[in-house]
A and B are shown apart, each in its own frame.
Chain A
Amino acid sequence: MAELLNYKCPHCDAPIQFEPGIQNMKCPYCDSEFDVAALKSKDEVLNSQPADSFEWDEKASEQWDETNDEGLRIFVCKSCGGEIVGDENTAATKCPYCDNPVVLSGRLSGVLKPNYVIPFKLDKNQAKQSLKDYVNKKKFVPNLFRSENHLDEIRGIYVPFWLFDSDVDAQVSFDATKVSSWSDSKYNYTKTDHFDVFRKGSMSFENIPVDGASKMPDDLMESIEPFDFSEAVDFQTAYLAGFLADKYDVDKEASIPRANERIKVSAEDTLRSTVSGYSSVTAKSSSVQLIKGSSKYALYPVWILNTTYKGNKYLFAMNGQTGKFIGNLPVSNAKLGALFAGLFTGISVLAILVSKMAGLL
């Protein structure tokens, strides 16, 4: 089933990989560059070749897997013959012995073949720099975190995403009010006018991404949105060389509800934005219908960085296309306390001065 794919330099036969900086394949040994599209034909030839020996490998590993029950798979590296351990979703990885990039093309063909891929634009060094910048920018991070925070692991991963397109018909009823007030010498009057407001319209959404990998935290993946789909290209396995990739293990049907939630909120928000001139607007009832929903399967580039600080693990993610960097950070209680004390003192003094000037003191 799973075929291992090594991209070899046609020049010197060394393994080559995709370089985000030049957006092309490059041989690290002889510096030759190759157009990804030019490698496509080679890709197809490789895919069409019978792979008897690998069938045997796979079967052997699956037997082994059954006894271990951990979803692990073993593949044999085509370059050095070493054993590569992956899980059942691994689609691209590196051989731990010879560090050659390996693509398991069987995991990316047939129904599992992604429609699109957004190639990495930012490389590992940029991801490391972003982590540094991100932490330095945050002034309330403990000082020790900056010096003692160890980067355990940095991985460039093509994360499987389901992309949903949909035309939406939505209608929302609002309760709206306009408040006006005036006063005479005796009373303050407040007049509230109540309105029944109705909006109905259609709109389209394109490429709403839903994380298709169960091992990627969904909130982390949503935090590095948006990806610019206009830069997506037809999927070719060559882009995966040198990176990790997973196939989806959350199927389309299981991903739809999350897309629907976001569509519903946005449809309501959009209609609400057309209601103006009121003091308050409250949605009373709404109904959202998907006219025609369709989906695509794409791989999006994500840098994942793991760090350790005082025994706690911190996980960061960077959008491999836009560079958007996100991750939870620890807060220094001492720094926050100092801020609190400063603010508290400053505002107290200011407020007392103001009340003194206003004649209250």
Chain B
Amino acid sequence: MKKVLSLIIVFALLITLPVLVFAEGEHPPILVDEAGLLTQSEFDSLNEKLNTLSTTLSFDIVVVTVNDIDGKTPMEYSDDYYDYNGYGYGEDHDGCLLLISMAERDWWITTTGYGITAITDYGIRYIEDTIVSYLSSGDYYGAFSAYADTVESFVKEARNGKPYDIDNTIDDYYDSYDYNYDDSPRELTAKDKAQAVIGSIVLALVISLVVSFGIKRSYTKAVHFNRDARNYLVPGSLNMSASYDNFLYSNVTKVRIQSESSSSGGGGSSTHVSSSGTSHGGGGGKF
């Protein structure tokens, strides 16, 4: 037991150590304007806003602008930027990063940890809808500001229990946008309904059969042999002379968590794994 306990402690330390070190170290800059899209006053005000929000939410809301993404895709660049600079709160590195690359006029939002939960595929589209018009018109301060506000509301909603998603939309969103699915909870197909009804009936059938046959058996097979002689064991006569519990080996199996698809109308976030091995969600496009 002591061995197990010390093992647990060592494990716990190993897991928390990087976090602790990170927490002690300096937080990487929350706003990086390499492309020089913001004036100094815009930069200062935005920097303060992002820092405040990130701290209060314990959720990094990062903005990075670059001129060029070194031949990587916007997704790879933003994922790596996030991972290797050590952004994110907690063990899961909760946060999101908006990348603007001026060379090809790309934008990309990458989500990590709790960001994947809070900002679903629906959320990415919502942010796209909010910021792309700003970006296209060159109002970068307005775009980043709107991005920060939107992310804040998404994280708060998710912390309240249910992230904004196709079945929990922000009002009026779809009025201005043309998507395949409805505003309200997803329309269930006849097949879904039939499955639920058949499932219920099968469940009822199984339980009823088990109970009925159990009762029948208890009546017609009441007379039976005794399995053991426990009634005749002299109480307190057990005297252990040897016992050991030896650990032999251990094996770990892992099953990939099915990421919910977003294209066919299901909710949630679609995720991918970046070069550092971290899981990210996100999306982007051109402006």
**CB < 8 Å neighbour of B204 from A193, A207, A217, A343:** A343
Chain A residue with the shortest CB-CB distance to B242:
A200
Complex alpha-carbon distance, A158 and B78, angstroms = 89
A267 to chain B: closest CB distance in Å? 9
- The answer to whether B199 touches A187, judged by C-beta atoms less than 8 angstroms apart, is no
- The answer to whether B208 touches A193, judged by C-beta atoms less than 8 angstroms apart, is no
Chain B residues, Cβ within 8 Å of A195: 245-248
Complex alpha-carbon distance, A197 and B188, angstroms = 53
Per-residue interface assignment for chain B, residues 232 to 255, with 1 indicating a CB less than 8 Å from any chain A CB and 0 otherwise: 111001111111111111111111
If A140-B215, A355-B196, A355-B199 touch, does A226 touch B240 (CB 8 Å cutoff)?
A: no
B82 to chain A: closest CB distance in Å? 14
A148 to chain B: closest CB distance in Å? 17
Complex alpha-carbon distance, A340 and B209, angstroms = 7
Identify which of A39-47, A83-91, A101-109, A324-332 touches chain B: A324-332
Chain A residues, Cβ within 8 Å of B243: 197-201, 274
Complex alpha-carbon distance, A361 and B231, angstroms = 53
Number of interface residues of B (CB under 8 A): 62
A68 to chain B: closest CB distance in Å? 33
- The answer to whether B212 touches A343, judged by C-beta atoms less than 8 angstroms apart, is yes
B20 at the interface (CB under 8 A from A): no
- The answer to whether B224 touches A219, judged by C-beta atoms less than 8 angstroms apart, is yes
A261 to chain B: closest CB distance in Å? 9
B200 at the interface (CB under 8 A from A): yes
Chain B residues, Cβ within 8 Å of A360: 188, 192, 196
B191 at the interface (CB under 8 A from A): no
Complex alpha-carbon distance, A185 and B269, angstroms = 12
B23 at the interface (CB under 8 A from A): no
Per-residue interface assignment for chain A, residues 277 to 318, with 1 indicating a CB less than 8 Å from any chain B CB and 0 otherwise: 000000000000000000000000000000000000000000
- The answer to whether B200 touches A355, judged by C-beta atoms less than 8 angstroms apart, is yes
- The answer to whether A200 touches B216, judged by C-beta atoms less than 8 angstroms apart, is no
Chain B residues, Cβ within 8 Å of A330: 219-220
**CB < 8 Å neighbour of B232 from A190, A196, A206, A344:** A206
Per-residue interface assignment for chain A, residues 220 to 231, with 1 indicating a CB less than 8 Å from any chain B CB and 0 otherwise: 101101100000
B2 at the interface (CB under 8 A from A): no
If A201-B240, A270-B233 touch, does A176 touch B245 (CB 8 Å cutoff)?
A: yes
A204 at the interface (CB under 8 A from B): yes
**CB < 8 Å neighbour of A347 from B203, B233, B251:** B203
A138 at the interface (CB under 8 A from B): yes
- The answer to whether B208 touches A183, judged by C-beta atoms less than 8 angstroms apart, is no
Chain A residue with the shortest CB-CB distance to B247:
A195
B172 to chain A: closest CB distance in Å? 23
- The answer to whether B220 touches A329, judged by C-beta atoms less than 8 angstroms apart, is yes
Per-residue interface assignment for chain A, residues 337 to 353, with 1 indicating a CB less than 8 Å from any chain B CB and 0 otherwise: 00110011111100110
**CB < 8 Å neighbour of A194 from B193, B200, B249:** B249
B5 at the interface (CB under 8 A from A): no
- The answer to whether A262 touches B223, judged by C-beta atoms less than 8 angstroms apart, is no
Chain A residues, Cβ within 8 Å of B273: 186
- The answer to whether A270 touches B238, judged by C-beta atoms less than 8 angstroms apart, is yes
- The answer to whether A201 touches B201, judged by C-beta atoms less than 8 angstroms apart, is no
Chain B residue with the shortest CB-CB distance to A193:
B250
Chain B residues, Cβ within 8 Å of A185: 92, 113, 116, 257, 271, 279
B3 at the interface (CB under 8 A from A): no
A202 at the interface (CB under 8 A from B): yes
B72 at the interface (CB under 8 A from A): no
B14 at the interface (CB under 8 A from A): no
Complex alpha-carbon distance, A270 and B230, angstroms = 8
B21 at the interface (CB under 8 A from A): no
Chain B residues, Cβ within 8 Å of A256: none
Complex alpha-carbon distance, A340 and B216, angstroms = 11
- The answer to whether A218 touches B255, judged by C-beta atoms less than 8 angstroms apart, is no
Chain B residue with the shortest CB-CB distance to A275:
B245
- The answer to whether A344 touches B208, judged by C-beta atoms less than 8 angstroms apart, is yes
**CB < 8 Å neighbour of B233 from A222, A266, A339:** A266
For chain A residues 60-84, which have a beta carbon within 8 Å of chain B? none
Chain B residues, Cβ within 8 Å of A345: 204
- The answer to whether B232 touches A188, judged by C-beta atoms less than 8 angstroms apart, is no
Chain B residue with the shortest CB-CB distance to A174:
B245
- The answer to whether B225 touches A219, judged by C-beta atoms less than 8 angstroms apart, is yes
If A269-B228, A340-B212 touch, does A348 touch B234 (CB 8 Å cutoff)?
A: no
Chain B residues, Cβ within 8 Å of A201: 238-243
Chain A residue with the shortest CB-CB distance to B205:
A344
Chain B residues, Cβ within 8 Å of A141: 219
B36 at the interface (CB under 8 A from A): no
**CB < 8 Å neighbour of B251 from A191, A219, A359:** A191
- The answer to whether A327 touches B222, judged by C-beta atoms less than 8 angstroms apart, is yes
- 8 further contact pairs, Cβ within 8 A, besides A200-B241, A274-B240, A359-B185: A186-B256, A190-B254, A195-B248, A198-B242, A199-B240, A263-B229, A270-B233, A328-B222
Q: Report 24 cross-chain contacts, Cβ distance below 8 Å, ordered by A residue.
A: A185-B113, A188-B254, A188-B255, A191-B252, A192-B252, A194-B250, A196-B246, A200-B242, A223-B224, A223-B226, A263-B229, A265-B229, A266-B228, A266-B232, A269-B228, A329-B219, A331-B215, A340-B208, A340-B212, A352-B196, A355-B196, A359-B185, A360-B196, A361-B188
The 9 A-B residue pairs with the shortest CB-CB distance, nearest first, are: A351-B200, A347-B204, A262-B229, A348-B204, A185-B279, A204-B237, A200-B242, A343-B208, A187-B254
